[in-house]
Structure 1
Amino acid sequence: MELLNAIPLVGPVLGAVIPFIFVLSVVVFVHEMGHYLVGRWCGIHAEVFSIGFGKEIYGWEDRRGTRWRVAVLPLGGYVKFLGDADAASANSDAEAVAAMRPEDRERSFPGAKLWKRAATVAAGPMANFLLTAVMVATTALIVGMPDERPVIGVVAEDADLPLREGDLVRSVDGQPVDDFSALVKAASAAGAPSHTVVVEREGEVLSFEIPPLIGPEVRRVDPRGAAGEAGMLPGDRMTAVDGDPIHAFEDLRERVFAAEGETLEVTVERADGTHTLMLTPRMTPFPLADGGVEMRPMIGVSGQLVIGSATRPAGIGEAAVAGVEGVGRIIQNTFSYLDKIIGGEADASGLGGPLRIASMSGEAATAGFGAILGMIAMISTSIGLMNLLPIPVLDGGHLVFYAIEAVRGKPLPDRAAEAATGFGLALVLALMAFVTWNDIAWL
């Protein structure tokens, strides 16, 4: 990936597109495999299993008569069952089903019992949730679980700190710390150029004076944020806001909050000298620790925590629990954000489409294998949730149709089903256009 990023113009594009295609293909493959496996278990014949849309670029036919194919447009996929009129299984081919032999009709999707059709449709989103759980659990098994104790797990190579891996921090500025998050909060507080930490190391109790653990150095800049548009760069060291000196990233955060949307004058130092930047904070969706989302004034920069927590090995059972909790956390965050949008407490600018997903996939690829697993987990749950929306042409819409069929004792009339499907397709296309517009504005 580093080689791709080194190629001017082509590199950054490929560095985002290739991970995007990989992440999306994995998520789509698992979703469609859920449909396929449960459909096959129910005795429903799959005619086509496709990753991507459009012209086939590679494919083969298995001994059951299913055509497995990879298509030229890698932005989705589908399973077409016997008797489907289209790849979305939104309508049945009534004439073809009527002309089938009785044994073939039983193998068709329209001819299957209601519970079998419902199970086959629901299996896609359920497979996405299972994939997320597996990705989170795998990460826990490979990387380990965070050690909640205030133990130093890693120290950044370029950090000028007396701390070492394995140090157990007892107190910061005279106040005891019980866990790692309390350590970071205490040793990154605003208004202090340094902190006194007491650590236990190999049976000895030592005291050190350290700079803030999240200093005023800029690690990352969102080019679409206020800081990026003002010219701030990664590696800049912020020294003052409106002429007042700052020592930690928390100093900047407090000044941004206090500004209430007013323009700030931020002084930064970089290799070529001192620069003064004018930037105005913007209200931005911010995920909370409890899974909620709130709008906060932000400028689009992040600092660098110069230490990392220790990890401990995770057992299979603990990793499995972490996987299930990971699915629940992503679902909770999603619904919390949507609730904020509906309630007018947040705008919909945080809803991203393919361009934003591609950018995030590229960033995850450069961050490492664990970040890619996390990206797959997030996208997988998002696609599973979206497909469960009660919109015709999506899996959730099919399930609503089946619920109506169960109550009526017969399917919806063809005309009503076709009208609902047309409305659902228009709604999905409008949603796609909206998130794509969000992406363009975000670029």
Structure 2
Amino acid sequence: MIDFIGSIPVIGGPLVSVLPFLIIITIVVFVHEYGHYIIGRFCGIHAEVFSVGMGPKIYSWQDKRGTLWQIAAIPLGGYVKFLGDANVSSFKSEPIEKNNSFNNASLKSKTLTVLAGPIANFLLSFLIFTSLLLWHGKPSNKPIIGNIHTAFSNGYDIKTDDIIISINDRKISNFSDIYSFMYQDTSEQFAKYVLERKGKQINSIGPFPSVAIVGSVMPVSPASSAGLKSGDLITSFNNVSITSFKQLQKLIIASNSKKQNINVLRGGEIISLSITPMLREFQNANGDLEQKVSIGVSSSLAISPSIEAVSLFEALKIGIQKTYLVIIQSIKQISKIITGEVGFENLQGPVGIAHVSSDIAKSDISYFIPLIAIISTSIGFLNLLPIPILDGG
């Protein structure tokens, strides 16, 4: 879909850059403002206007409670204006004696109404994470082959649902054992597999697990700028044939952030791209920041695990955990900005969110919906901070 939009003459490029951001910000802000609205209504506070978008209205209707619902011309955010608000940021107007105004509401009602926006954002994130788990399931840790990368799906006697007993004489008890191959710097492109298929043991040759396959592309990175996509098999870097992801990492570090040629196999065709690695900050296993030269991709395996269904209880539990994790990461990031460990530029504003959403939509659309959940929680958390300008659209 994104590729089709991008192919539209003249307007395709700008649309691909702007449309994902507008979709995300409209959904997140609508849910945020609806949280304010519905709890305010429950507390007896009258909403005069609920606007999707900002600026002049292009369509509106009034409900039986007297609230004007409108779609505005500028699709950036939105707002709810309560009786007694002077503007969309809920600053007080002249005193209004009506009992159903925001100014005359009890402290409890005001507090609940203000908190409802961020809580609605957290609930949206929780529902997205939970729904995705119920829909897609989660990767199993059993040593069962789920999918085989298209570059290796033909020519090898390995199939989906095969149980892996060993690879290169190394016993495989669970799928986590296979990830250990990713740390090997080897020129081997093939490996010996012992498989179980329909109760029978089979000896076969298959791809070495740690070939240089792009797992995901970091937004606003050299990889996203160059046009790398999830699933690309990197075949050469700086005219050197690539046989493992570890080898690729060494060549990237040795590049000294100079422009390089990179070839990838995508859809059965070799595609030549140019990329300039850059020095970036990363969080290591200890939580400390360190700098290293990178292009902004994570690795993937030639074979992927099978997907198993999750129960409703497990999906709810993981949904809460993921939402909580985003909140904790937001707190850590804000803390590091306050203490000066990282620069203020690391706090993404609308322009940063636009770049991230556009890059993710172009590189791997499957990450787009989880991005809505992440941004929703982040915006919800920021609105809990005592900074009035962050609210009101």
- Pairwise TM-score range, normalised by the shorter structure: 0.7 to 0.9
CA distance in 2 between partners of 1:292 and 1:64 (Å): 53
Using the TM superposition, give the Cα deviation of residue 179 of structure 1 relative to its aligned residue in structure 2, in angstroms: 3.3
1:17-96 to 2 correspondence within 5 Å? Answer: 17-89=18-90, 91-95=91-95
CA distance in 2 between partners of 1:61 and 1:238 (Å): 60
Tell me the secondary structure at the aligned position of residue 55 of structure 2: strand
Q: Over residues 259-306 of structure 1, what are the superposed CA-to-partner deviations in whole Å (9 max), with x where a residue is unaligned?
A: 4x84579675579999998955412335x6898865443133455543
Question: Is 2:380 aligned against 1:387?
Answer: no
1:94 partner letter: E
Question: Is 2:282 aligned against 1:282?
Answer: no
2:56 partner letter: K
Using the TM superposition, give the Cα deviation of residue 132 of structure 1 relative to its aligned residue in structure 2, in angstroms: 0.1
Using the TM superposition, give the Cα deviation of residue 156 of structure 1 relative to its aligned residue in structure 2, in angstroms: 2.4
Q: Over residues 321-359 of structure 1, what are the superposed CA-to-partner deviations in whole Å (9 max), with x where a residue is unaligned?
A: 121111012122223334444555544554333334334
CA distance in 2 between partners of 1:280 and 1:375 (Å): 25
* 1:47–1:82 CA contact under 8 A, matched in 2: yes
Q: Over residues 233-281 of structure 1, what are the superposed CA-to-partner deviations in whole Å (9 max), with x where a residue is unaligned?
A: 776844467x976411121224545x4x845796755799999989554
- 1:121 corresponding residue in structure 2: 114
Using the TM superposition, give the Cα deviation of residue 143 of structure 1 relative to its aligned residue in structure 2, in angstroms: 0.7
1:175-254 to 2 correspondence within 5 Å? Answer: 175-186=170-181, 189-193=184-188, 194-216=190-212, 225=221, 237-239=234-236, 246-254=242-250
- 1:130 corresponding residue in structure 2: 123
Tell me the secondary structure at the aligned position of residue 387 of structure 2: coil
Tell me the secondary structure at the aligned position of residue 151 of structure 2: coil
CA separation of 1:303 and 1:326: change in aligned 2, threshold 3 A = closer
Q: Over residues 44-88 of structure 1, what are the superposed CA-to-partner deviations in whole Å (9 max), with x where a residue is unaligned?
A: 111111111110111111111101111112221111111111211
Tell me the secondary structure at the aligned position of residue 105 of structure 2: coil
Bigger radius of gyration = 1
CA distance in 2 between partners of 1:228 and 1:44 (Å): 47
CA distance in 2 between partners of 1:190 and 1:147 (Å): 26
CA distance in 1 between partners of 2:198 and 2:171 (Å): 19
- 1:432 corresponding residue in structure 2: none
Count of residues in correspondence between the two structures: 384
Task: Tell me whether 348-357 or 146-155 shows the greater mean CA deviation.
Answer: 348-357
Which structure has greater strand proportion? 2
CA separation of 1:394 and 1:37: change in aligned 2, threshold 3 A = same
TM-score of the aligned structures, taking structure 2 as reference length: 0.83
1:12 partner letter: G
* 2:219–2:356 CA contact under 8 A, matched in 1: no
2:280 partner letter: M
- 2:331 corresponding residue in structure 1: 335
Which structure has greater helix proportion? 1
**Which structure 2 segments of 5+ residues have no match?**
none
1:316-355 to 2 correspondence within 5 Å? Answer: 316-342=312-338, 345-355=341-351
CA distance in 1 between partners of 2:273 and 2:221 (Å): 17
Tell me the secondary structure at the aligned position of residue 44 of structure 1: coil
Using the TM superposition, give the Cα deviation of residue 308 of structure 1 relative to its aligned residue in structure 2, in angstroms: 2.5
- 1:310 corresponding residue in structure 2: 306
Question: Is 2:134 aligned against 1:141?
Answer: yes
1:134-173 to 2 correspondence within 5 Å? Answer: 134-160=127-153, 161-173=156-168
Relative contact order higher in (CA < 8 Å, ≥ 6 apart): 2
Task: Tell me whether 129-138 or 197-206 shows the greater mean CA deviation.
Answer: 197-206
CA separation of 1:293 and 1:171: change in aligned 2, threshold 3 A = farther
* 1:191–1:246 CA contact under 8 A, matched in 2: no
Tell me the secondary structure at the aligned position of residue 158 of structure 1: helix
TM-score of the aligned structures, taking structure 1 as reference length: 0.74
Q: Considering only aligned residues, what root-mean-square deviation do their CA atoms show, in Å?
A: 3.7
2:145 partner letter: I
Q: Over residues 166-211 of structure 1, what are the superposed CA-to-partner deviations in whole Å (9 max), with x where a residue is unaligned?
A: 1222333333334334313326622241333332222122333333
Percent identical among aligned pairs is: 34
CA separation of 1:51 and 1:169: change in aligned 2, threshold 3 A = same
CA distance in 2 between partners of 1:289 and 1:197 (Å): 32
Q: Over residues 83-131 of structure 1, what are the superposed CA-to-partner deviations in whole Å (9 max), with x where a residue is unaligned?
A: 1112111x22234x1xx3xxx2x21101011011001000000000000
CA separation of 1:274 and 1:308: change in aligned 2, threshold 3 A = closer
